[in-house]
């Protein structure tokens, strides 16, 4: 392929980056989007004598490439596009700036990498493998050359599914008389060598070989003859890494040897366990070397938890992580209690000479005899109390101040009743009047703008909410300081809405910053600190760091039980998050037990009809469904629908949510006609009550499409899927995760209708938009 070649009229090859047995990798320019990418060209397949085999390879390539393109994790190389040009299969991937581990060893003259680097690589790769294994994807060819460390310290795994496909394309030689695909001898698992079935534990073995090499400078079986290497993997125990290098910590030595166990069942159960052991070792080992300055936080997945996964049929479920648009009554990140930020001031009848204390400041009010009030403003250079200066403003009548305070509190009451649209209108009006009467930087004005942001976030306008909270946080930081509780409250709300926007990595960074400040200023067991840690646990699950999320939620639940009591509402909220984490980790029996305990505790403490009690019962139904107990779930949901109807009415959003769960479990029991009827009824009610473009309405419309598909009515299903996709694209934007998930549903439906080319084009468009969103490109 010449470097002037323009593939598909779009990708212009520029420089050859690398060449190997599989093919070539080029730096190229995507002339449609104006960005540089990497294009991997596999060796030509149209010269193979067996045309049937060639057809199979093409189909395998499309399938493998589509799966690779669906992977969305910070630790996995992004695949933008794929196709075939003049008999050459190619993939278009993100262009990475960095060195693979093999190159790093070469750069280091085959000396081992620093121990902190080895530990950081182990942590990040474990996170990426945990994500990919959860998608039922096994790499099968992990080696130093397939693991990149970028210039910012991020570690990425490359070539999911493509390396083994390349071996088939090029008819890589097989070991004489064995029938074993050769692969890379130094990193092959014993079961690969023996030709046995491989699973995720084979990847763990290969990664153990990688860790061994970067920790010691040599692979575990450093022999010249390929056959001897293979037999070493199969039959010979490896020397402990510490026998090569004393600096290797004992915990890391043990982890690597466990990864290199000959029998798969003797290795760590999965990559999540590996990550947990690495993290525990790093935290608990005394005398461990500090982490390198360039190493980032452990690998974080930007893809939202509801990003679509490869499934044989887009069946909706109210409980399945990874199924787009499915409503849950799960724990939301917590909000600090809304309150009137009352700064007792000269405008509330105080006389000259008194000290007015509010928001943590002791301020001397200005002279009121001149008929002027003072607006205290911190100088931008210091933000210190003694440097506050005053601008003069007419004193507002005390009656106006009292009226605005009453209206503010009325807005809070509307919010507590869930009437967020009305609450937002009240707070916006009060904010405008307070700004006019008191000034834009008065604490009461900022309090109203804070509540405006709160209502915006609860009415599906997170971008607008982010602007409000950013303004409040910036102003409070300038006036009160970066670690004042009110400043931290606004910054925490910014983290919350960043999560709503799917910007979970930014949310994580914001929560970590707030948490550090709260621990310094208030202590680890302060309610505000625990609330922040609860929210951080929630966000970690959105990043795919499920073990970390579960562990942190468990710690917060224990702390809240100790500080507040086992049956305190906040403790029970976090126990719900613990149960959710258990479900995410596939530990559904424990999740069910925890949700049942929470439901019982809430019924005793709050009453059987309290919304929180009913929400916990809904989660019990989800757990029953996930355990295959759909008959029990159906019974629970029928009772829950009756109770919700009695308490809230037949058209209440939570009543309809329970009916949605009922319909899903009818489908699970293959009662598809009933399921379809229930979904249509719920969809009609939601459209009438909430509007045609409300997220819950669209979820129900998708469930209608699912039922139609299962009944074989794919043409009707396509109409519904496309309607949902169009609405989400219109409301949320073309690159929003929910919109992309709906386009994937549409593409799957096109495949079922035999319209494969249209499906492929749609999959490509989704992959491009997803990458554009991840990189922040145009």
- Give the residue numbers marked as catalytic: 141
Contact between 295 and 115 (Cβ < 8 Å): no
Contact between 393 and 385 (Cβ < 8 Å): no
**Closest CA relative to residue 273, chosen from 120, 136, 129:** 129
The residue written with tokens 């397949």 in the block is 45
C-beta neighbour count of 378 within 10 angstroms:
21
Q: Give the CB-side neighbour count of residue 82, counting CA atoms within 13 A.
A: 23
C-beta neighbour count of 168 within 10 angstroms:
17
Contact between 112 and 217 (Cβ < 8 Å): yes
- 3-state class (DSSP) for residue 623: helix
- 3-state class (DSSP) for residue 18: strand
Distance CA 200, CA 372 (A): 73
The residue written with tokens 């959860």 in the block is 134
Strand ordering across the sheet containing 147-150: 98-100, 147-150, 155-157
Contact between 259 and 205 (Cβ < 8 Å): yes
**Closest CA relative to residue 122, chosen from 191, 247, 212:** 212
Instruction: For 278, list phi and psi in degrees, rounded to 5.
Output: -60, -45
What one-character-per-residue DSSP string does 187-252 give? G--HHHHTT----HHHHHHHHHHHHHHHHHSS-SS--SSHHHHHHHHHH-PPPPHHHH-TTS-HHH
- 3-state class (DSSP) for residue 33: coil
Distance CA 323, CA 309 (A): 7
Six-digit token string for 453: 């942001």
Contact between 149 and 122 (Cβ < 8 Å): no
Six-digit token string for 238: 């490896």
Q: Residue 397 to residues 348, 402, 445, 575: CA-CA distances in angstroms?
A: 9, 9, 16, 48
CA dihedral 268, 273, 276, 282 (to 10 degrees): 10
Six-digit token string for 4: 């002037």
Distance CA 362, CA 81 (A): 61
Beta strand pairing call for 155-157 and 147-150: antiparallel
C-beta neighbour count of 722 within 10 angstroms:
17
Give Cβ neighbours of residue 451 (< 8 Å, ≥ 6 apart).
338, 408, 411, 412, 415, 423, 427, 431
Distance CA 424, CA 430 (A): 10
Q: Rg of the chain over CA atoms, in angstroms?
A: 29
Contact between 11 and 30 (Cβ < 8 Å): yes
Six-digit token string for 556: 């917060």
Contact between 299 and 73 (Cβ < 8 Å): yes
Distance CA 718, CA 695 (A): 19
Six-digit token string for 462: 């997170």
Six-digit token string for 313: 């049929």
Contact between 29 and 85 (Cβ < 8 Å): no
Q: Tell me which DSSP letter residue 736 carries.
A: S
Q: Residue 194 to residues 183, 261, 614, 772: CA-CA distances in angstroms?
A: 13, 15, 54, 42
């Amino acid at each position: 392929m010449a470097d002037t070649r323009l593939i598909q009229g779009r990708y212009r090859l520029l420089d050859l980056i690398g060449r190997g047995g599989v093919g070539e990798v080029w730096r190229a320019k995507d002339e449609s989007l104006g960005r540089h990418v990497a294009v991997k060209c596999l060796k030509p397949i149209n010269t193979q004598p067996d045309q049937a085999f060639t057809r199979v390879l093409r189909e395998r390539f499309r399938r493998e490439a589509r799966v690779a393109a669906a992977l969305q994790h910070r630790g996995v190389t992004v695949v933008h596009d794929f196709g075939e040009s003049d008999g050459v299969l190619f993939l278009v991937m993100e262009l990475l700036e960095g060195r693979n581990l093999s190159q790093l060893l070469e750069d280091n003259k085959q000396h081992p990498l620093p121990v902190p680097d080895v530990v950081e690589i182990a942590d990040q790769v474990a996170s990426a493998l945990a994500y990919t294994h959860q998608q039922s994807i096994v790499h099968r060819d992990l080696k130093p050359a397939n693991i990149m460390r970028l210039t910012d310290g991020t570690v990425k795994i490359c070539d999911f599914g493509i390396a083994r496909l390349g071996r088939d394309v090029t008819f890589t030689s097989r070991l004489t008389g064995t029938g074993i695909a050769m692969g890379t001898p130094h990193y092959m698992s014993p079961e690969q060598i023996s030709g046995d079935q491989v699973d995720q534990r084979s990847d763990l073995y290969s990664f153990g070989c990688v860790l061994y090499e970067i920790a010691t400078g040599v692979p575990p079986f450093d022999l010249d003859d390929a056959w001897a290497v293979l037999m070493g993997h199969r039959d010979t125990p490896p020397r402990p890494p510490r026998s090569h290098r004393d600096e290797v910590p004992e915990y890391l030595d043990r982890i690597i040897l466990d990864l290199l166990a000959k029998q798969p069942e003797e290795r760590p159960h999965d990559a999540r366990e590996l990550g947990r052991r690495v993290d525990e070792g790093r935290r608990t080992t005394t005398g461990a070397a500090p982490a390198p300055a360039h190493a980032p936080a452990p690998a974080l997945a930007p893809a939202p938890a509801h990003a679509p996964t490869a499934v044989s049929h887009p069946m909706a479920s109210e409980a399945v992580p990874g199924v787009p648009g499915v409503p849950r009554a799960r724990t939301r990140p917590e909000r600090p209690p809304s309150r009137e930020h009352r700064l007792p001031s000269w405008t509330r009848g105080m006389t000259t000479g008194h000290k007015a204390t509010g928001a943590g400041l002791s301020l001397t009010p200005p002279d009121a005899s001149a008929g002027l009030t003072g607006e205290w403003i911190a100088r931008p250079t210091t933000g210190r109390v003694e440097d506050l200066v005053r601008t003069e403003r007419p004193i507002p009548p005390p009656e106006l101040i009292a009226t605005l305070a009453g209206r503010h509190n009325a807005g809070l009451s509307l919010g507590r009743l869930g009437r967020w649209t009305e609450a937002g209108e009240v707070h916006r009006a009060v904010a405008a009047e307070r700004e006019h009467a008191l000034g834009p930087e008065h604490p009461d004005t900022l309090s109203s703008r804070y509540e405006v942001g709160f209502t915006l976030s609860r009415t599906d306008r997170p971008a607008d909410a982010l602007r409000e909270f950013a303004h409040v946080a910036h102003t409070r930081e300038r006036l009160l300081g970066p670690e004042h509780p009110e400043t931290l409250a606004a910054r925490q709300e910014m983290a919350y809405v960043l999560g709503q926007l799917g910007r979970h990595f930014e949310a994580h960074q914001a929560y970590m910053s707030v948490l550090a400040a709260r621990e310094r200023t208030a202590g680890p067991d302060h309610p505000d600190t625990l609330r922040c840690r609860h929210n951080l646990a929630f966000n970690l699950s959105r990043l795919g760091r499920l073990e970390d999320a579960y562990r942190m939620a468990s710690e917060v639940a224990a702390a809240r039980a100790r500080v507040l009591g086992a049956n305190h509402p906040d403790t029970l909220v976090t126990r719900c998050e613990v149960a959710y984490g258990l479900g995410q980790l596939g530990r559904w029996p424990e999740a069910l037990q925890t949700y049942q305990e929470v439901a019982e505790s809430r019924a005793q403490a709050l009453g059987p009809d309290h919304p929180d009690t009913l929400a916990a019962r809904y989660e019990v139904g989800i757990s029953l469904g996930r355990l295959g107990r759909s008959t029990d779930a159906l019974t629970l949901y029928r009772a829950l629908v009756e109770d919700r109807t009695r308490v809230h009415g037949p058209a209440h959003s939570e009543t309809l949510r329970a009916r949605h769960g009922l319909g899903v479990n009818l489908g699970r029991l293959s009662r598809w006609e009933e399921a379809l009827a229930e979904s249509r009824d719920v969809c009609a009610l939601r459209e009438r009550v909430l509007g045609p473009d409300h997220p819950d309405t669209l979820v129900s419309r998708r469930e209608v499409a699912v039922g139609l598909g299962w009944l074989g009515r794919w043409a009707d299903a396509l109409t519904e899927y496309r309607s949902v996709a169009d609405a989400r694209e219109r409301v949320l934007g073309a690159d929003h995760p929910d919109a992309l998930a709906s386009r994937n549903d549409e593409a799957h439906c096109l495949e079922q209708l035999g319209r494969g080319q249209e499906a492929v084009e749609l999959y490509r468009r989704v992959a491009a938009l997803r990458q554009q969103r991840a990189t922040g490109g145009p």
